[in-house]
Amino acid sequence: MKPKVIVYKKVDQQVLDYIQETCDVVYFEGLDSQNYPEFLQELKNAQGILGSGLIVDKTLLDQAPQLKIVCNSSVGYDNLDVSELSNRGIMATNTPEVLNETVADTIMGLMLSTARRMPELDQMVKSGQWTSNIGEKSFGLDVHHKVLGIIGMGGIGSAVSKRARFGFGMNILYHNRSRNEDAEQKYGAAYCSLEDLLKQSDFVCLMTPLTPQTEKMMGEKEFKLMKESAIFINCSRGKTVDEEALIDALKTGEIHAAGLDVFVQEPIQEDNPLLSMKNVVTLPHIGSATYETRLKMAMLAATNLVAGLQGETPPTLIKAGVKVK
Ligand SMILES: NC(=O)c1ccc[n+]([C@@H]2O[C@H](COP(=O)([O-])OP(=O)(O)OC[C@H]3O[C@@H](n4cnc5c(N)ncnc54)[C@H](O)[C@@H]3O)[C@@H](O)[C@H]2O)c1
Ligand SMILES: O=C(O)[C@H](O)CO
């Protein structure tokens, strides 16, 4: 008999076809309050689950006695209680690397659109406010040849460095848990303390995973250290930032602008002050959201699922505890 698995996120038909060769699939295109009870019912005898964002903790696992593998279709896995999974002998997998280049494109887009005020100027043109003497009203800041500080020089940070160094002639500073010699050699990235990075960078890009150590790692003190002309970019997780402190720093002019793909609450609440700030560019957590890359991520997650259930080591198994680089 084929093992039963749940796919709880919309995936391409070819991904479903591949899983169905060896598994019985229960498919939810997404989870909401309506179908969640049905999902929990199916979970009782599921051996694998595939999707992203679902909180997989002790409470959920208590309702999944047959579970052998949890496959995230995302590189971030802060939704998983990895030690609880490991204690129960359940495998966990994520999708690193395949999204690096796409997320790096998004980050460059946030840097450019924030520094050059593209969404704001787009609105100005479309609402008929393009006058012949528009002048300084349309000015922004240069991106090229500025200093880019990357906090979290992993796969995505490195892909951003490549673009920034070779496409824009930027100088790269970085702060990481440990030295990344590859990024130093290839992109001339210079390792420094968080404090020095914040003081010296024109753009600060946060790209760490969300862990107990990185939660609110950008707070009041950190924003105060940044230049008044600096732009803050966050494409990691909303909770790596103290959002209240960010709002204050933007309001008081402690920093110049921010480009954000992620927020403490997603979808963002309508009354969040960030939504009414001209110097903030917001995106709806779409860092990796291209047809090509989302297909690669789902296919890698499916490969992990099938391998795990066939007794093989999944290609991108998360080691127990926090991954150390
Ligand atoms: N917005 C999006 O759509 C999107 C897309 C992909 C990834 N992400 C987020 O970005 C994160 C990073 O992705 P990645 O593929 O580059 O991961 P990665 O593991 O390759 O790199 C993360 C880097 O952060 C460093 N780091 C961890 N804790 C740190 C700390 N306390 N201080 C300094 N550095 C620290 C690690 O050493 C590592 O080099 C993911 O975990 C995910 O949360 C968001
Ligand atoms: O971590 C990731 O891969 C992105 O946030 C997409 O979910």
pLDDT of residue 320: 57
Domain assignment present for 87? yes
Q: 250 C-alpha to center of ligand 1: Å?
A: 24
Predicted-assembly ipTM surpassing the 0.95 threshold: yes
Q: Is the same domain home to 45 and 164?
A: no
Domain assignment present for 150? yes
Residues 99/296, Cβ–Cβ less than 8 Å: yes
- Of these residues, 228, 266, 292, 312, which one is catalytic? 266
Ligand with an atom nearest the CA of residue 101: 1
CB atoms within 10 A of CB 290: 16
> Would you say the CB of residue 288 lies under 6 angstroms from ligand 2?
yes
pLDDT of residue 182: 98
Q: What is the DSSP string of 57-121?
A: SHHHHTT-TT--EEEESSS--TTB-HHHHHHTT-EEE---STTHHHHHHHHHHHHHHHHTTHHHH
Amino acid at 118: M
Please say if 181 is a catalytic residue: no
Q: Is the same domain home to 299 and 153?
A: no
Q: Is the same domain home to 92 and 173?
A: no
pLDDT of residue 319: 83
DSSP 3-state assignment of 295? Answer: helix
Q: 209 C-alpha to center of ligand 1: Å?
A: 4
Q: Burial, 313: exposed, middle or buried (Cβ in 10 Å; 0-12, 13-18, 19+)?
A: exposed
Q: Name the DSSP class of 140.
A: -
Domain assignment present for 55? yes
Residue of 156, 216, 235, 296 best suited for mutating to test ligand 1, as the one with most atoms within 8 Å of CB: 156
Q: Is the same domain home to 195 and 122?
A: yes
Ligand 1 atom having least distance to the Cα of 157: 16
Residue of 82, 105, 184, 207 best suited for mutating to test ligand 1, as the one with most atoms within 8 Å of CB: 207
Domain assignment present for 316? no
Q: Is the same domain home to 232 and 302?
A: no
Q: Is the same domain home to 169 and 299?
A: no
pTM higher than 0.95, yes or no? yes
Which residues span the domain enclosing 82? Answer: 4-98+291-309
Domain assignment present for 65? yes
Q: 15 C-alpha to center of ligand 2: Å?
A: 18
Identify which of 278, 282, 284, 283 has the alpha carbon closest to the alpha carbon of residue 124. 278
Domain assignment present for 151? yes
Q: Is the same domain home to 130 and 189?
A: yes
Q: Is the same domain home to 238 and 104?
A: yes
Please say if 285 is a catalytic residue: yes
Domain assignment present for 322? no
Q: Is the same domain home to 266 and 296?
A: no
Q: Is the same domain home to 133 and 220?
A: yes
Please say if 266 is a catalytic residue: yes
Q: Is the same domain home to 218 and 128?
A: yes
Mean pLDDT in runs of 10 for the chain (325 residues)? 98 98 98 98 98 98 98 98 97 98 99 98 96 92 98 98 98 98 98 98 99 98 98 98 98 98 98 98 98 98 98 92 39
Q: How many domains does the chain have?
A: 2
pLDDT of residue 133: 87
Q: Is the same domain home to 73 and 155?
A: no
Domain assignment present for 172? yes
pLDDT of residue 211: 98
Q: What is the CATH number of the domain that holds 45?
A: 3.40.50.720
